[in-house]
Each structure stands twice: as structure tokens, then as C-alpha cells.
Amino acid sequence: MTDGSPLAEAMEVEESPSTSITPRDPPKIQRLEESVVNRIAAGEVIQRPVSAVKELVENSLDADSTSINVTVKDGGLKLIQVSDDGHGIRREDLPILCERHTTSKLSKYEDLFSLSSMGFRGEALASMTYVAHVTVTTITKGQIHGHRVSYRDGVMEHEPKACAAVKGTQIMVENLFYNMIARRKTLQNSADDYGKIVDLLSRMAIHHNNVSFSCRKHGAVKADVHSVVSSSRLDSIRSVYGVSVAKNLIKVEVSSAESSGCAFDMEGFISNSNYLAKKTILVLFINDRLVECSALKRAIEIVYAATLPKASKPFVYMSINLPREHVDINIHPTKKEVSLLNQEIMIEMIQSEVELKLRNTNDTRTFQEQKVDYIQSTLTSSKSDTPISPLPSGQKTPKVPVHKMVRTDSSDPAGRLHAFLQPKPNNLPDNVSSLSAVRSSIRQRRNPKETADLSSVQELLSGVDSCCHPGLLETIRNCTYVGMADDVFALVQYQTHLYLANVVNLSKELMYQQTLRRFAHFNAIQLSDPAPLSELILLALKEEDLDPENDEKDHLKERIAEMNTELLKEKAEMLEEYFSVFIDSDGNLSRLPVILDQYTPDMDRVPEFLLCLGNDVEWEDEKACFQGVSAAIGNFYAMHPPLLPNPSGEGVRFYTKTSEKSSQEKPALGGNVEMESVLDQDLLSDAENAWAQREWSIQHVLFPSMRLFLKPPAAMASNGTFVKVASLEKLYKIFERC
Ligand code: ADP
Ligand code: MG
């Protein structure tokens, strides 16, 4: 019957009788009755009970209240009552109080930019009277009695009646959406409206800590939100969200001057790595308005995913203050979202601060979590103040033989070769490199696909499980990354053994397994420019060819590229739905899946990937097809050495170009031209960046993710992927003799 839109809902009680118009006649345009127009507008401002509560509470705050109490019956549909101790409403204003566009907060448009009140549109109370029964009781300072009056459709139902009243205003909203049947029904079925109201008041309470709030169900003795006026933000968070949240918070602050491109002050609290939750809570106030900002939320979530070992979602409270003229508060009827000048710069600065704070505390945390089920570290824990987690009760600290005293903490950065040997590339400081990875993933778009529970994927995954090598699994879970031994092998330590681990093979397998696990659930990486398939495949074919000068083959290659493009276009729907590989109807690749958060593959390998999809996948059999595509993605996302040769050591030769030396003073004798080697600085710095970025990813993305997700196949124990090179006890003995 109704599509649930405000228009359809508003029209449904006054059904139009003219249903017999023949299809050929254009329908007659008529002016809507004002009551209908108002009800449509009201449906937009008051979308659910919680929107009414928000408006009422904001009005109370605007009225300088210090105490605001909310009572709710039937999720707000039967009754919402908000009482405050604010300045009240004058008797003479009551007749127009609930008319549309009547406000005491704004008189000319320009006031919008200097406004400090929450409200300004003069629409909230009016809207409520169009979709509910509203009764106002109020008293102003110096009066001996108050007034009570009820409203419907913007007007008073009777003259205000004198009544006894306590300081402030009490507004009752009854039978919300009584005249919008469809909306009432949908809301009646959803039980979570009271929860939303509690959530709203909790958020309000921690920001406005100079006001006491309470929220309870009608008739309940105990309030579900109860805050008292407090001078400390942390105290108010503790009283509203509980000790378990408050004890795990870190203070954050950013202050940025106009010169940085975005002037703002931010202060807040973020959860540390001990805090565990499944859902992010971001309580965000911008210029004291409770707003939502999905870009900031996502940006913070990414930093958490990138920085903390445990997959916990954060609790974040932030209050941001910007010059008023930089915020457009008038883009949303309920003022839920705001538009900010230079939002991106601001988000990046906040991200860096959050990342910095998390890294600092994360170091302490991993230290405390140091494994004690095998050898105690002496190299790292020789300081007496180093916290070491206690052994499970009843166990004694095993006495460690001196020759076994070696570094074994898998998360202690001091133990990494990296820290000693590798000077940080100066154009890539630690936090910048991590941020660029983080930034690249901000451009991700969510892909809201439902679970595809295809049995062939389940079979492939159980295949992964059954091939898993338990010993190797144990080693990978607990190993320490020491450093890169060469372009492909990393040196890792597990207990007292050193291993060489082939990062290309390992990452390929990890990406393959993650592709299967995230099947049909990928976030997407949006390519800034869609890439034409046929050209890329042609490029890959030419690269494969050992004799690229041979023109005859060119035609053939073009044909192959075309055929592959057509094939992939045909499979585009499936590739998009299950793998988030998006190919448009013109044959351009524009989206790729996120396989590991904070990691984007080397885009130089896109041509090879597309060729591999076209050539190597068995499209006819479902299981083989999913396996083939996942393997192609695995290979593409694997951490191969960058295509530019490693500029350290011998590789630097690749970046020298020779040029004739201009030597006018010494004219060349006997036709001997002097040559000079110069470094191609641009290419060199590209290469340095690519290699540094890869090493960063290996250490900070690959190894942590492998510890969490990789099920190493048995073959890796014997095919050279994981090779034991030394046992430290034996080395120790050798050194002892020296
Ligand atoms: P707005 O808040 O945008 O001005 P509203 O419809 O929410 O519009 O409220 C209209 C006016 O009613 C406000 O400008 C304010 O003067 C008055 N008002 C509403 N609620 C209260 C309250 N709790 N205490 C005092 N005045 C109020
Ligand atoms: Mg208001």
C-alpha cells in the first residue's frame, strides 16, 4: 500500500477518491493542503522517537538548564517527557511557540554563522505537534505560577491554563506518529528505540558534564542513564559508560593553527589496547553539537586495525572546535551531520595523533603480555622495573639455563635487527609510512553483500585446514621477526632457533586463504583512474615475451588481449559479487578487494594479474574457478620484491646513467670522450620508497596477520619456505669456546 516515504505516509489518512483517471490523461496538479505539507516536513525532522528526544534535550540545553530528566514509555511512541530547570518560556510567547519557523535563537540568516545555540530552525516543536500531541508546562523566573497548554498541528488547543510548576519547562509528547500509520507500525516492531534514546543521552551526558541527565522508562525507579555534574570528563564517562571503559582510556589532543590549512582544536579520549568491544563507539561533538562523521569513524577504525594486535573496535570521545564560519550546520534537517571546511586535513591530523598515542601504549602492552610459557627473556627484561606478567598460579618460574637466555619476545622491537642495522629512510619516517598505508585504505568503500555460503568455498577452506602443519603453525604464531636477510627471505626467531622464511610464498598463501575467508565480504579499494583491461593485458603479454621486438607477434598479442578482455567482461558480475574486482561495461578495472586491512597491492602487478585471470582460471567448474581466482589474487597481493631493483648494495648500479663529461678545458685527446656516472635521483628515490614500504608492510602487516590468520600448509615445511638455519644454543657453545 505505502512505500513508507513521508509523502505516502502523510497522504494515507486522507485518501484521494480520484482513482479512475485513464492512463492517457495527465494527472491534475493540485496544491497540497498546508496540514499535509506540514506533516510531510514533520516526518523529516522527527524521524523516530529518538529524534524528538534529541530536539527536546537540545532545547533544554539552549535554555541554560543544569538538570534534564527524560521519561519514556513504549519506546517513546506512547510518551516522551523532558523536564528541565531552564529559563522557561514567556506566557506571551506560548500562542506561537509551536508554529513553524518560530524561534528565539535567530532573526536573520547571517546569525547562522555566529550562533551558539543548538536550535535555530524553529521547526522541532512545530513538527512534533503535527505528528503527536504536545503539552507544555513552563514557568519563568519571578512568576508565582506556571502555565500549561496543549498543541495540535502547530496551534494551541486552548488558552494556557495557570498551574503549579517547578522551575523550568516540561514538555510531553504523546502518541507519536498517531497519524502516520505505516511509520508507527514499523517502529512498534522495532524494539530498539529506547536503546537509541539511552545511547543519545549517554553521549549528551559525557559532553555536557556541567548538566546532570537522567533517562528512565516510565514507572521505573532506576534510571538507565544517570549522570551528575562533574568537573572531569573522565568522571562523567565513568559514571555513564562504566569503569571498564573509563579505566582503559588515553587522552588525546590536537591543536592546529590556521597556517596548517585547517584551524581546529580537538580533545578527547580513546580506548587503549586493553579495551575489547565488537562495535565502535564514536561520540563526536563538533562545536558542541552531537554529530556523526563516517569518514572520521572509518579513519579511526583503520588506525586501530593497523596498530593493535587484537581486533577490537575502539571507544572514542572527541570534541572538536572550529571557527564557526568553517562549519555549515544547515545541511541536514535534524542537524545530524555537518559540513566542514578542509575535513580531510583535519581527519589526517587526528589520525596521526591517535596512531601515535596507540603505538606508545601498545608498546607497553605487548611488553606486559610477554609470553612466559617458554623462555624468559633476559636481554629485554634485565631492568628491574620491567613488568613481566605473572605465571599461571601454582607454577614456579623455571630456572633458565644460561645458554638458553636469548631474546624470545615476539613483539619487542628492541630485538629486531631492523632497529640496529637499518637507518630509517629519511623520507619515510615510521609514522608517515604507516599513515600512507592507512590513508590509502580510507579510500575504501564498503561493500554490503550478504554472506555467500557457497559450499565450494567451505570445501576449499576445509582443505586449507586439513593441510595445516601444526608445528609450523606454532612457530609462525610465536616467532619474532628479526629482519630481511635478502630480497625474499626474512630471518625469524622461534624459541632458540633461527629460521629463514620466504615472505613471497608465505604472503601468497596468506592472501589466498584470506581471499577465501573474506569471500563476498570484501571492502573495496577504489582505483583513482579506471584502468583499461585490454591495454593492461597487452602490456603483460609484451612483458612475458622474450623477444619483444618481433612485430609479427604483436597482432596475435592484441587478439589474445581482446579475447581475454571479453572473457573477463562476461565474468564481471561474478568477479564483482564474490571478489569485489569491478570491471565496468567498457572493460575498465576500477575496484579491487581489500584482502588485508592497511595493505594495498603493488599496482605494477595489475597487468600480470589480469592476464592470469584470463589465462589460468578454470571458469566452468565452480570450485576450481573460486580457487583459481583466489590464487590469482593471492599471487597479485603477495609481497613480491618491487619491480625496481633493490637500490641498496649492488642494485644501485641500475640507477646510474652515464653522461658525457663537459670538459672544455681538457679537450678530448685521440677521440677519447670522458664519461661520468650520475645517479638518476628520481628513480632511485622511487625505488627506495618502494623497498622501504614493502619492508614496513612485511614487518607490520604480514607478520602480525600471519600470526593471526595463516594456516601454513604442510608443504611449506619441506619446500624451502621455512628453513631452520641455526640453533642459538649451538651458536652459544661456539661463542663460548672463542
Ligand atoms: P528552535 O530550537 O530551532 O528555536 P524549537 O521548535 O525547538 O525551535 O523551539 C522553539 C522555541 O521554543 C525556541 O526558540 C525556544 O525559545 C523555545 N523553547 C523550546 N523549548 C524550550 C525549553 N525547554 N525551555 C525554554 N524555551 C524553550
Ligand atoms: Mg529546538
Residue 498 has pLDDT above 70, yes or no: yes
Residue 71 has pLDDT above 60, yes or no: yes
pLDDT-derived band at 134, boundaries 50, 70, 90 = very high
Output the CA 103–ligand 1 centroid distance in Å: 6
Q: Residue 309: what pLDDT? A: 64
Q: Residue 337: what pLDDT? A: 62
Residue type, 121: R
Share of the chain above pLDDT 90, in %: 37
pLDDT-derived band at 430, boundaries 50, 70, 90 = very low
Output the CA 634–ligand 1 centroid distance in Å: 59
Name every protein residue with a CB atom under 6 angstroms from any ligand 1 atom: 55, 59-60, 63, 84, 86-89, 97, 103-105, 119-126, 169
Q: Residue 389: what pLDDT? A: 37
The residue to mutate among 100, 102, 125, 127, having the most atoms of ligand 1 within 8 angstroms of its beta carbon, is: 125
230 burial (CB, 10 Å; 0-12 / 13-18 / 19+) is middle
Q: What's the Cα-to-Cα distance from 317 to each of 31, 233, 246, 270, 610, rounded to whole Å?
A: 47, 10, 11, 6, 44
| Number of other residues whose CB lies within 10 A of the CB of residue 370 | 19
Q: Cell 638455519 maps to which residue? A: 725
Output the CA 295–ligand 2 centroid distance in Å: 27
Note the pLDDT tens digit of each residue in 595-604.
887 788 988 8
Q: Residue 409: what pLDDT? A: 39
Q: Give, using CA atoms, the residue closest to atom 8 of ligand 1.
A: 122
Cα–Cα distance for residue pair 32/30, rounded to 1 Å: 6
Cα–Cα distance for residue pair 404/374, rounded to 1 Å: 11
Q: Is 466 helix (H, G, I), strand (E, B) or coil?
A: helix
Q: What's the Cα-to-Cα distance from 437 to each of 199, 212, 432, 696, 702, rounded to whole Å?
A: 33, 43, 9, 10, 13
Give yes or no for a contact between 341 and 305, defined as CB atoms under 8 angstroms apart.
Answer: no
Output the CA 1–ligand 1 centroid distance in Å: 37
In ligand 1, the atom with minimum distance to the C-alpha of 82 is 23
Of 478, 483, 491, 476, give the one whose Cα is nearest residue 375.
Answer: 478
Q: Residue 485: what pLDDT? A: 86
Cα–Cα distance for residue pair 42/57, rounded to 1 Å: 18
Helical spans, DSSP H, in 105-263: 124-131, 181-189, 193-207, 233-241, 243-246
Output the CA 188–ligand 1 centroid distance in Å: 28
Cα–Cα distance for residue pair 617/625, rounded to 1 Å: 6
In ligand 1, the atom with minimum distance to the C-alpha of 171 is 23
Region of residue 284 (phi > 0: left; psi between -120 and 50: alpha; otherwise: beta): beta
The residue to mutate among 59, 90, 137, having the most atoms of ligand 1 within 8 angstroms of its beta carbon, is: 59
Q: Residue 684: what pLDDT? A: 81
Q: Judging by DSSP bridges, how do beta strands 146-152 and 656-660 pair with one another?
A: unpaired
In ligand 1, the atom with minimum distance to the C-alpha of 127 is 6
Note the pLDDT tens digit of each residue in 72-81.
999 999 999 9
Across the range 464-468, mean pLDDT stands at: 91
Q: Residue 141: what pLDDT? A: 93
Of 611, 608, 626, 630, give the one whose Cα is nearest residue 564.
Answer: 611
Q: Residue 335: what pLDDT? A: 54
What is the separation of C-alpha 262 from the centre of its chain, rounded to a whole number of angstroms? 22
Ligand minimally distant from the alpha carbon of residue 94? 1
Across the range 404-422, mean pLDDT stands at: 38
Output the CA 63–ligand 1 centroid distance in Å: 8
Output the CA 25–ligand 2 centroid distance in Å: 45
Of 140-144, 522-526, 566-570, which range is least confident?
522-526
Rounded to the nearest integer, the mean pLDDT of the chain is 78
Output the CA 87–ligand 2 centroid distance in Å: 14
Query: In this structure, what DSSP letter does residue 391 have?
Result: P
The residue to mutate among 55, 64, 99, 103, having the most atoms of ligand 1 within 8 angstroms of its beta carbon, is: 103
Q: What's the Cα-to-Cα distance from 701 to each of 73, 308, 694, 709, rounded to whole Å?
A: 50, 11, 10, 12
Q: Could you tell me the maximum CA-CA distance found in the chain, to the nearest angstrom? A: 116
**pLDDT higher at 309 or 393:** 309
Size of the chain in residues: 738
Cα–Cα distance for residue pair 579/705, rounded to 1 Å: 20
Question: C-alpha cell of 515?
Answer: 581471499
Of 104, 103, 54, 44, give the one whose Cα is nearest residue 82.
Answer: 54
Residue 48 has pLDDT above 60, yes or no: yes
Cα–Cα distance for residue pair 123/52, rounded to 1 Å: 11
Q: Residue 404: what pLDDT? A: 39
Cα–Cα distance for residue pair 736/379, rounded to 1 Å: 17
Q: Residue 336: what pLDDT? A: 63
Output the CA 193–ligand 1 centroid distance in Å: 24
Output the CA 208–ligand 2 centroid distance in Å: 17
Cα–Cα distance for residue pair 162/151, rounded to 1 Å: 16
Residue 10 has pLDDT above 60, yes or no: no
Of 331-335, 488-492, 669-673, which range is least confident?
669-673
Ligand minimally distant from the alpha carbon of residue 137? 1
Note the pLDDT tens digit of each residue in 649-658.
677 777 776 6
Q: Residue 122: what pLDDT? A: 81
Cα–Cα distance for residue pair 617/27, rounded to 1 Å: 55
Residue 262 has pLDDT above 70, yes or no: yes
Residues forming a β-bridge with 242: none
Cα–Cα distance for residue pair 463/630, rounded to 1 Å: 14
Residue 421 has pLDDT above 80, yes or no: no
Ligand minimally distant from the alpha carbon of residue 61? 1
Ligand minimally distant from the alpha carbon of residue 126? 1
In ligand 1, the atom with minimum distance to the C-alpha of 123 is 6
Cα–Cα distance for residue pair 196/48, rounded to 1 Å: 10
Packed helices 533-544 and 552-570: angle between N→C axes, nearest 10 degrees: 130
Q: Is 502 helix (H, G, I), strand (E, B) or coil?
A: strand
| Number of other residues whose CB lies within 10 A of the CB of residue 422 | 14
Note the pLDDT tens digit of each residue in 371-394.
333 223 333 333 333 333 333 343
Ligand minimally distant from the alpha carbon of residue 128? 1
Residue 43 has pLDDT above 90, yes or no: no
Q: Residue 729: what pLDDT? A: 62
Residue 577 has pLDDT above 60, yes or no: yes
What b/e sequence results for 376-407 when a residue is b if at least 16 CB atoms lie within 10 Å of its CB, and e otherwise?
Answer: bbeebbeeeeeeeeeeeeeeeeeeeeeebbbb
Give yes or no for a contact between 325 and 313, defined as CB atoms under 8 angstroms apart.
Answer: no
Q: What's the Cα-to-Cα distance from 168 to each of 67, 175, 177, 656, rounded to whole Å?
A: 10, 23, 27, 80
Q: What's the Cα-to-Cα distance from 219 to each of 79, 193, 216, 223, rounded to whole Å?
A: 12, 17, 8, 10
Of 468, 440, 483, 473, give the one whose Cα is nearest residue 592.
Answer: 440
Strand runs labelled E in 495-587: 497-502, 524-532, 582-583
Dihedral pair phi/psi, residue 207, rounded to 5°: -80, -50
Residue 446 has pLDDT above 90, yes or no: no
Of 219-228, 511-520, 696-705, 721-730, which range is least confident?
721-730
pLDDT-derived band at 456, boundaries 50, 70, 90 = confident
Dihedral pair phi/psi, residue 667, rounded to 5°: -60, 140
**pLDDT higher at 602 or 340:** 602
Of 122, 641, 712, give the one whose Cα is nearest residue 465.
Answer: 712
Ligand minimally distant from the alpha carbon of residue 171? 1
Q: Give, using CA atoms, the residue closest to atom 19 of ligand 1.
A: 59
Expressed in angstroms, the distance from the first to the final Cα of the chain is 91
C-alpha atoms less than 13 angstroms from C-alpha of 551 in its C-beta half-sphere: 0
Q: Residue 400: what pLDDT? A: 41
pLDDT-derived band at 565, boundaries 50, 70, 90 = very high
Q: Give, using CA atoms, the residue closest to atom 18 of ligand 1.
A: 59
Output the CA 55–ligand 2 centroid distance in Å: 5
Cα–Cα distance for residue pair 284/290, rounded to 1 Å: 6
pLDDT-derived band at 543, boundaries 50, 70, 90 = confident
Q: Give, using CA atoms, the residue closest to atom 16 of ligand 1.
A: 104
Q: Judging by DSSP bridges, how do beta strands 249-256 and 225-226 pair with one another?
A: unpaired
Share of the chain above pLDDT 70, in %: 75
In ligand 1, the atom with minimum distance to the C-alpha of 98 is 6
Q: Residue 295: what pLDDT? A: 80
pLDDT-derived band at 223, boundaries 50, 70, 90 = very high
